[in-house]
């Protein structure tokens, strides 16, 4: 992985996009301090890459997260910190080799005092059917590639938080369901038993437990008191299991 800098490299840009159009995409993650789009000096043809300087590291990090693989025209553009390593090298160097699908463009958090509460509000604006399809997709991913699901949730606790609330709003993970799982006795302090029990649970229950374990302490604090206690118990019981898969 390249060293974080305020400057990011944008590559694989469509040749037919104007400087203004590329700049507009760059600005969608935050204010742009400096911007350079490169052309061949002799032919005047675009080289298909650009550099964007943001005002701070946070905005640049957001660009790397949100703009890499962003679809512009008919191409998936590349976005990484400025440096010599290729995108492929960065992925290979980042360890486990698990590649995650791109997430949709994030929303601007500048000036937000409570990002967790904002996540909750965004989830609430979704229609019931949309919530169901999001849960269904998460379940499917948990089933076909549990390691990728674990990585996705570890790296994006806001997604775990959103999934827990989606589970609540659609009554797919009611407090009663959580209690039912907790009521199953497990041999005292024996991780193996918890692991076996986890493996025997329905896939959707496993997926929800993974989501719960990915919640940060701050996010748990935001929950309703009733579910908060259950979430804490769930996390205590299963976090070692989930983290050792």
Partner DNA sequence: GTTGAGCGTT
Task: Give the footprint of DNA on this chain (CB under 7 A).
Answer: 2, 7, 9, 11-16, 34, 36-41, 45, 47-49, 51, 53, 75, 78, 80, 82-88
Nearest-approach distance from CB 130 to DNA, in angstroms? 34
| Min CB(9)–DNA separation in Å | 3
Other residues' Cβ atoms within 10 Å of the Cβ of residue 170:
16
Query: How near is the Cβ of 3 to DNA at its closest, in Å?
Result: 11
Closest contact distance (angstroms) between CB of 54 and DNA is 12
Q: Which is nearer to DNA, 7 or 232 (CB)?
A: 7
- Residue number, 73 or 202, with CB nearest to DNA: 73
Query: Quick count: other Cβ atoms within 10 Å of Cβ 133?
Result: 12
- Residue at token pair 């492929």: 88
Nearer to DNA, 85 or 182 (CB): 85
Residue 14 vs 157, nearer CB to DNA: 14
d(Cα 80, Cα 60) in Å, to the nearest integer? 9
* Helix (H) / strand (E) containing 32: strand 32-39
Taking alpha carbons only, the member of 72, 91, 73 closest to residue 2 is 91
Q: How far apart, in whole angstroms, are the C-alpha atoms of residue 160 and residue 164?
A: 6
Q: Which of 41/244 has CB closer to DNA?
A: 41
Nearer to DNA, 82 or 229 (CB): 82
Sign of the alpha-carbon dihedral angle for 201, 202, 205, 207: positive
**Contact indicator for 45, 15 with CB cutoff of 8 Å:** yes
The residue to which tokens 């993970």 are assigned: 173
Give dist(CA 231, CA 139) in Å, integer. Answer: 19
* Distance between CA atoms of residues 224 and 226, nearest Å: 5
Shortest Å, Cβ 15 to DNA: 4
Sign for the CA dihedral angle at 59, 62, 68, 71 comes to negative
Q: How far is the CB of 60 from DNA (least distance, A)?
A: 11
């Amino acid at each position: 992985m390249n060293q974080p800098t305020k400057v990011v490299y944008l590559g694989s840009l469509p040749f037919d996009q104007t400087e203004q159009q590329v700049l507009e995409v760059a600005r969608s993650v935050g204010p742009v301090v400096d911007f350079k789009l490169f052309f061949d000096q002799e032919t005047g043809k675009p080289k298909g890459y650009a550099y964007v300087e943001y005002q701070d590291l946070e905005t640049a990090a957001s660009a790397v997260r949100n703009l890499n693989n962003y679809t512009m025209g008919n191409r998936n553009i590349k976005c990484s910190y400025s440096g010599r390593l290729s995108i492929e090298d960065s992925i290979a160097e980042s360890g486990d080799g698990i590649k995650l699908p791109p997430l949709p463009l994030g929303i601007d958090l500048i000036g937000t005092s409570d990002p967790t509460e904002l996540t909750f509000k965004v989830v609430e604006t979704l229609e019931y059917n949309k919530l169901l399809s999001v849960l269904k997709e998460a379940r499917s991913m948990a089933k076909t590639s549990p390691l990728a699901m674990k990585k996705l949730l570890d790296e994006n606790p806001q997604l775990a938080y959103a999934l827990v609330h989606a589970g609540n709003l659609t009554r797919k993970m009611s407090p009663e369901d959580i209690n039912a799982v907790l009521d199953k006795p497990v041999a005292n302090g024996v991780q193996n038993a918890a692991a076996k029990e986890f493996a025997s649970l329905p896939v959707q229950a496993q997926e929800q437990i993974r989501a719960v374990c990915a919640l940060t302490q701050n996010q748990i604090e935001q929950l309703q008191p009733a579910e908060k206690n259950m979430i804490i118990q769930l996390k205590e019981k299963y976090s070692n299991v989930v983290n050792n898969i």
